[in-house]
Structure 1
Amino acid sequence: MGDPVTDPAPDGIDEGRRLIRLGGDKGLSLADRLAERFHRLTWRTPLHTLRLKGRYPLKLIAVPEDPILGDIARGTMLLEGVLSFRGEARDIETLDLSKPHPKPFAEYLQSFAWLRDLSTVATRARGAPIAEYLMGLWLTAHADTQGGIAWRPDMWGRRILAWTAHAPLILSSSDQIYRSKVLNALAKGALHLDRTADKAPAGAPRIAAWCGVVAAGLLIPGGEPRQAFGEAGLLRALGTGLFDDGGSVSRSPAMLLDSIQLLTLLQESYAARSAELPETVAVTLTRMVAALLGVAHADRGLSSWQGGGPASETQVAAVIEASGVRTRPLRQARDWGYQRLAAGTAVLIVDAAPPPIARL
């Protein structure tokens, strides 16, 4: 017998009720914006640099798997010495990480998401020299210079997940000085996240930041207090970033897919320590998958909603399979706002809720 299919929470809209957006649409107050700006400015001060000093690990306790396949075309180009993403391409031999790049490409570069693409097409022997070369560029440009996109909390969260899952590619070198620099940077990033994770925007960015905190707690020696601290923060991030029915408060299926990927990677960090996701997080993940399936077309692909780009059936299927969740699509979302009608091979999806708030 196959795994049981989990039913999402009962859906449907009660008679006499209608979809409304709670909390207004004004976004952050002026005081909140000023406080956030001041906090970011402190990253460039000696005060924050002192906060990041401490004892660093000499190894990782465990190395989790990355269960999601990367993009073969992008990985193949990396083997040819070219880093590419969404129409942007850079020769890695002339790549300058200290210079600004278009935002999507910069986030792909800084998050080290390209490690997944590289690992999909290359053996460790072939991929490690490329990964370590790019890691060396990053360490030179950003390891000791706080600020900018490289030190955004969400980038550090994604980077910790990527570095730990693909440690064989970035830590295969016999150069102990290089290995020490990588592990020191990892520890400094975790300390930075301890203090800044809640400053990331609500939704996938904040979830990414807190996933990084929890992963660091699980995989860096002496991380038990950080793990507990991170799990509490992750629950808050899920509470502010998701509706009760599992949909993203951004109302973007692309952001929801991204959030599911993040929790799936975190789940592997727990598995590497022979542990499981906290029950509340696991239940939330099931609701998220149900909400995502509710906006998938008959071919299981996603179209463009609320500023998010489309996603192919292959992308969606890979993430859902990796999550380990089996559930049915959410047909009528109370908060998420997408209504689904299906008959035979025909599927109608209606966005029946107000737009998301101006700023989350």
Structure 2
Amino acid sequence: MSIEAKVAPSIGVERSITFMDKVHARLSAMRAQATGFVSQPEPRTIGSFAKGKQLAAGNFQFGGHLVQAEGRSLWEITPPDAMYEAELNGFTWLDDLASVGDRDSRLLAQAWVHEWIERFGRGRGLGWSPDLTGRRLIRWINHALFLMNGQTPEANDRYYKSLAHQTAYLGRRWSVASRGLPRFEALTGLLYASLSLGGMERYATPSTNALARECADQIDAEGGIPTRNPEELLEVFTLLTWAAAALTEAGRMPLPAHLAAIKRMAPTLRALRHADGGLARFHGGGRGLEGRLDHALAYSGVKAAQLDGLAMGYARLSGGRTTVIADVSAPPARNASRVAHASTLAFELTSGRRALIVNCGSGAPFGAEWRRAGRATPSHSTLSIDGVSSAKLIAEPQGEFLTSGPTKVTEQRNVGSDATEIIASHNSYCVEYGLTHVRKMEVSLDGRRVTGEDTLAALTDPDRVRFEAHMDKISLQGVPYSVRFHLHPEVDASLDMGGTAISLALKSGEVWVFRPSFAAKMTIEPSVYLEKGRLKPRASKQIVLSSRVMEYASQVSWSLAKAQDTPSYLRDVDEDLELALK
């Protein structure tokens, strides 16, 4: 029987620490010995100077919580929840302290690492899952010089022993990590340690082989992963580039399956990046850490290349400085759907460095209710019928999974001389309503105009029978539906042209004008923007087009166009950067 401590699902966080994890953590200590570093992979993790200064000041922000405890240790604080505790035990905050790099931050990092060894080093706490242990090992090895500088031989000996202990634990337990990012983290940590620590060389070949097998099994032919989470794809890609570099620096050749996976993933990630450099926010993923994608692509050595077709199930349209990325594939299936969203046919739009149309994002850092709300279809820039999601959540002991989603999703791309168009559809609403959602979007070559049509139609005779039955059930009142366009919090929306249009002003000075067809009622309503690193959701707005299906088909068309006096290219520099340049 497994005794588990639950952890809320998030990017790179396993759901449970099992009793057997703790048993193996304690057993591993009995045989673990390391003689020191034989080599050290070059530090590649990117930290935040600002976050490092906040940590040093006693402001501990993890898992959506801020704990202010100046003068106290990280480990003296009772964690508000398991996600907070998991982030602590992953030690990514070491990157932030190392980015500050001064004496005070170094002494703090050293004290907190050794306090962890004292408190949890023999298998206690939530830190002994394979993925968290792998993540922690990578940071401890990356910042070894930072952590060992000025320490006594006895302190460094305790550090070596803990590294060896964690390595031996991973050698026993990496295979029980969930497939996907958790297992890649565990294996990369094991590989790093085997290449760096004297006495741990026996794990190098097994971890290299296992990593190659996971690449072959988990990275599909188009460079995607089962979760279809762009940020998770970036995290896996980053780990693989780090592992390949570490192998090369140690005089070993990464296996062909490993290198081939990196080569497949790079163009997919490039296609999932908006014009502002951030990733499209779908299926629980965020924009990605600042600079992470550029660094990973640079380290990969994979040359930029045009991707033909879809990128992990997403269609990308671009013109001028405008990008549209749309989810035009079925949602992730079963185990891969633990943090997935009901986002079929949703899209995001970015103009230059400014996001315009977005999805609400993942509510996981803000608790269970926000997590569920963020996964619902109305939290995405797409159509929903009567507030019903295109896929449902089912709660099981292992988590909340998507079910009853679309069984058929189609996509077609048409490239013209002055615009590119996609036409996509899904059948999720056929069973209950007999209606198929068809979305057509077009981006002009110069990027100044985006047009769309959203259609609900009963396409087949059986669908028409179901539609008529539903109409009878609601006394022929019509099937209500809404098309939502969630706006980034920095977009200023106001009714214009006598209420027939909405002006959207960006911080860059650009103005876009949204116009709907007269078949729908248009309103501006409250919305939220959910992002990691914030203590609470950010207030924003959404444009909502509302109508009813009265016959076998109903259509709403809309357009987004730059105002005539808005130039195609504007100088757009952050205020902070402008001040720095003065």
Report how far residue 182 of structure 1 moved: 1.5
1:137 aligns with 2:115: yes
1:196-234, Cα deviation, whole Å (9 max, x unpaired): 111111111110011112112211224443111001211
1:120 aligns with 2:96: no
Q: State the one-letter code of the partner of 2:129.
A: R
What secondary structure sits across from 1:65 in the alignment?
Answer: coil
Q: 2:307 aligns with which of 316, 330, 347?
A: 330
Report how far residue 117 of structure 1 moved: 1.4
Q: Determine the C-alpha separation between the residues in 1 that align with 2:17 and 2:286.
A: 32
Q: 1:105 aligns with which of 79, 84, 104?
A: 84
Task: Show the counterpart of 2:26.
Answer: 49
Give matches, 1:152-171, under 5 Å: 152-171=129-148
Q: Determine the C-alpha separation between the residues in 2 that align with 1:327 and 1:220.
A: 35
* Structure (1 or 2) with the greater strand fraction: 2
1:204 aligns with 2:181: yes
Structure 2 vs 1, CA of residues 227 and 287 (structure 1 numbering), >3 Å: closer, same or farther? Answer: same
Q: Name the % identity.
A: 26
1:154-207, Cα deviation, whole Å (9 max, x unpaired): 011111111111001222243222212211111111111112111111111110
Q: Determine the C-alpha separation between the residues in 1 that align with 2:201 and 2:270.
A: 35
Q: State the one-letter code of the partner of 2:332.
A: P
Give TM-score scaled by structure 2 length: 0.51
Structure 2 vs 1, CA of residues 82 and 177 (structure 1 numbering), >3 Å: closer, same or farther? Answer: farther
Report how far residue 245 of structure 1 moved: 1.6
Larger radius of gyration: 2
- 2:97–2:106: 8 Å Cα contact kept in structure 1? no
Give matches, 1:272-283, under 5 Å: 272-283=249-260
Q: Determine the C-alpha separation between the residues in 2 that align with 1:81 and 1:271.
A: 39
Q: Determine the C-alpha separation between the residues in 1 that align with 2:171 and 2:88.
A: 23
- 2:65–2:80: 8 Å Cα contact kept in structure 1? no
Structure 2 vs 1, CA of residues 168 and 82 (structure 1 numbering), >3 Å: closer, same or farther? Answer: farther
Task: Show the counterpart of 2:264.
Answer: 287
- 2:184–2:236: 8 Å Cα contact kept in structure 1? yes
Structure 2 vs 1, CA of residues 101 and 257 (structure 1 numbering), >3 Å: closer, same or farther? Answer: farther
Q: State the one-letter code of the partner of 2:221.
A: D
Q: Determine the C-alpha separation between the residues in 1 that align with 2:335 and 2:143.
A: 34
Q: Determine the C-alpha separation between the residues in 2 that align with 1:44 and 1:207.
A: 20
Report how far residue 243 of structure 1 moved: 1.9
Structure 2 vs 1, CA of residues 44 and 157 (structure 1 numbering), >3 Å: closer, same or farther? Answer: closer
- 2:280–2:325: 8 Å Cα contact kept in structure 1? no
Q: State the one-letter code of the partner of 1:344.
A: G
What secondary structure sits across from 1:83 in the alignment?
Answer: strand
What secondary structure sits across from 2:72 in the alignment?
Answer: helix
Q: State the one-letter code of the partner of 1:359.
A: N
Q: State the one-letter code of the partner of 1:62.
A: S
Structure 2 vs 1, CA of residues 205 and 254 (structure 1 numbering), >3 Å: closer, same or farther? Answer: same
Q: Determine the C-alpha separation between the residues in 2 that align with 1:210 and 1:114.
A: 21
Q: 2:127 aligns with which of 146, 150, 165?
A: 150
Gaps spanning 5+ residues in structure 1: where?
1-36
Task: Show the counterpart of 1:343.
Answer: 319
Query: Higher mean Cα deviation, 213-222 or 104-113?
Result: 104-113
Q: Determine the C-alpha separation between the residues in 1 that align with 2:234 and 2:26.
A: 35
Q: Determine the C-alpha separation between the residues in 2 that align with 1:300 and 1:95.
A: 33
Q: State the one-letter code of the partner of 1:345.
A: R
What secondary structure sits across from 2:335 in the alignment?
Answer: coil
What secondary structure sits across from 1:70 in the alignment?
Answer: coil
Report how far residue 38 of structure 1 moved: 12
Task: Show the counterpart of 2:430.
Answer: none
- 2:216–2:257: 8 Å Cα contact kept in structure 1? no
Structure 2 vs 1, CA of residues 217 and 314 (structure 1 numbering), >3 Å: closer, same or farther? Answer: closer
Structure 2 vs 1, CA of residues 38 and 328 (structure 1 numbering), >3 Å: closer, same or farther? Answer: closer
- 2:174–2:187: 8 Å Cα contact kept in structure 1? yes
Q: Determine the C-alpha separation between the residues in 2 that align with 1:231 and 1:324.
A: 20
The root-mean-square deviation of aligned C-alpha atoms, in Å, is 2.7
Structure 2 vs 1, CA of residues 61 and 294 (structure 1 numbering), >3 Å: closer, same or farther? Answer: same
- 1:254–1:308: 8 Å Cα contact kept in structure 2? yes
Structure 2 vs 1, CA of residues 186 and 129 (structure 1 numbering), >3 Å: closer, same or farther? Answer: same
1:51-92, Cα deviation, whole Å (9 max, x unpaired): 441141131111222234311210121333433346433436
Structure 2 vs 1, CA of residues 93 and 202 (structure 1 numbering), >3 Å: closer, same or farther? Answer: same
1:76-118, Cα deviation, whole Å (9 max, x unpaired): 2133343334643343614336844444433332111112112
Q: State the one-letter code of the partner of 1:351.
A: D
Give TM-score scaled by structure 1 length: 0.79
What secondary structure sits across from 1:342 in the alignment?
Answer: strand
Q: State the one-letter code of the partner of 2:85.
A: A
Structure 2 vs 1, CA of residues 39 and 161 (structure 1 numbering), >3 Å: closer, same or farther? Answer: closer
Of structures 1 and 2, the one with the larger relative CO (CA 8 A, separation 6+) is: 1
Report how far residue 297 of structure 1 moved: 1.1
Give matches, 1:175-214, under 5 Å: 175-214=152-191
What secondary structure sits across from 2:139 in the alignment?
Answer: helix
Work out the number of aligned pairs and report it. 320
Task: Show the counterpart of 2:330.
Answer: 354
Structure 2 vs 1, CA of residues 260 and 51 (structure 1 numbering), >3 Å: closer, same or farther? Answer: same
Give matches, 1:222-233, under 5 Å: 222-233=199-210
What secondary structure sits across from 2:302 in the alignment?
Answer: coil
1:95 aligns with 2:95: no
* Structure (1 or 2) with the greater helix fraction: 1
Q: Determine the C-alpha separation between the residues in 2 that align with 1:201 and 1:38.
A: 10
Task: Show the counterpart of 2:196.
Answer: 219
Q: Determine the C-alpha separation between the residues in 1 that align with 2:150 and 2:257.
A: 39
